[in-house]
Amino acid sequence: MTRLDAIRKRCQQATNGPWHWAHKTRQRKLPSVFYGEQYVGFLCDVYDRNQDAEFIAHSRGDVEWLLGRLDAATKLLEEIETHIIRVVEIERDEFWESLRRE
């Protein structure tokens, strides 16, 4: 399994997004991550680092978006490669045909 496959698998197995975070709630005294109203987990070491909590809460959606962009870019590169191969084959055939005519 490649690293990308492992990332994709973890993303697929994680709770669907979007996630959000709350510094404290009535039920939880620690910064926590939620999916809608569903508690996902607490953020143990981010008491004074809201940026870290924001990053963690957005990571699920960000990774999913990035994987989608990567898939689109990979598909585009495959299409370009196919087109280049066709052009090279046409040029090659035209070159050999021109030599035969001489």
pLDDT band at 92; cut points 50, 70, 90? very high
Its pTM stands at 0.65
Mean pLDDT of 24-35: 60
Q: How many Å apart are CA 82 and CA 87, to the nearest integer?
A: 9
- 46-71 pLDDT, tens digit per residue, is 555 667 777 777 888 899 999 999 99
Contact 21, 33 (CB under 8 A): yes
Domain with 68 in it: 3-101
Nearest of 14, 25, 23, 5 to residue 70 by alpha carbon: 5
Mean pLDDT of 5-20: 82
Mean pLDDT of 1-26: 78
Give me the number of domains the chain comprises. Answer: 1
